Amino acid sequence: MTKKYFYILLFATLNVISQNVGIKTTSPEEELHIAGATSTIRVEGLNEINNVNNLGTNSTSKVFVNEFGDLVLGELKDNIQLIFDSDNYLRDVQNPTSLILQTGEGSGFSEAGIPTLGLAASFTLTAPAVVEINYSVSWNLGKNASPTSRIDDYRARVVQTGVYFRLNDYTGPPVVNDYFGNPINGGALCINSSCTQVAGMIGINGQIYNNEDKDEGVWSGFRNSASDYVILGPGTYTPMFAAQLEVGDTNATGAIKMYLGVENDEVQVIAHYFN
């Protein structure tokens, strides 16, 4: 009798093992099936307190499968790291450091703006990474750069902005090539009026400004926003802005000036480590 009971118990155990397990469902379709549109899984051994490879608040730590099939956190080089997320990246000034002079058609970019974060605006990559930049930068423009002397020539203008990188702090040399030695965004652009400095720019975006009524040109309240990516190697970098103000015909347009970063300017830098 005892031997027969053992066989029955063994059969029942194997039958349970072969079945799918369902959570919040009575008809699981996989070996482990968790139902529900808002279902989640928590592994406390992977959280910030218990695992040194968890990057913690404001970052995302990737989960990998090791050779045993265990779920593990990747090391820093495998993860996504929020470098900084600034609500006001550029100094709110209207002086030569933020001035963009009007040009005709062409690549008349000029650097503008100094980070409010100072040296804290720099970030260091210890391994190659895809660097993601998200920004929203403010600008204004006017005749002789005066709120009471607005543009009145009826001519449309294009305002373009972009981001480039300098090595180390904001006084360092501009970066031209990516980690693989390729020109960033297909080729360097001038970042000053004399074109003595060039840089690889990303996140180039623009919009058209036009005043339809004489003396009704709007002075401020504009923004350019963009997102872009570039692969950078190990090193210390500082994101910087460059912009251009173009007009098709410069004859009799007056001393039109634009200032960049006159209000709050959002900049977010995220590193996606891959190697």
Residue 65 CB burial class (10 angstroms; 0-12, 13-18, ≥19): exposed
Task: Determine the Cα angle at 192 with ends 187 and 197, to 5°.
Answer: 55
The answer regarding whether domain 80-273 maps to CATH 2.60.120 reads: yes
- What is the model's pLDDT at position 192? 84
Q: Smallest Cα–Cα separation from 220: which of 231, 230, 209?
A: 209
C-alpha gyration radius of the chain: 28
Among 39-48, 77-86, 231-240, the range of highest mean pLDDT = 231-240
Domain boundaries, the chain: 80-273
- What is the model's pLDDT at position 10? 46
DSSP 251: T
Indicate the pLDDT class of residue 166, thresholds 50, 70 and 90. Answer: very high
> pLDDT tens-digit profile of 205-221?
988 877 655 555 556 67
CA torsion sign for 179, 188, 192, 223 is negative
> pLDDT tens-digit profile of 107-147?
678 999 999 988 789 999 988 999 999 999 999 887 765 55
184 vs 194, more confident: 184
- What is the model's pLDDT at position 15? 47
- What is the model's pLDDT at position 13? 46
Indicate the pLDDT class of residue 61, thresholds 50, 70 and 90. Answer: confident
Among 49-58, 151-160, 173-182, 203-212, the range of highest mean pLDDT = 173-182
- What is the model's pLDDT at position 12? 46
Q: Which amino acid is at 165?
A: F
Query: Average of pLDDT values for 188-200?
Result: 87
CA torsion sign for 7, 10, 14, 15 is positive
E-assigned strands of the chain? 21-23, 32-34, 63-65, 71-73, 80-86, 99-103, 110-112, 123-125, 129-143, 157-167, 189-190, 198-199, 202-209, 222-232, 235-247, 256-260, 266-273
Q: Smallest Cα–Cα separation from 195: which of 244, 249, 158?
A: 244
- What is the model's pLDDT at position 237? 96
Please, how many CA atoms are within 13 Å of residue 207, restricted to the half-sphere of its CB? 12
Lowest mean pLDDT among 85-99, 138-152, 179-193: 138-152
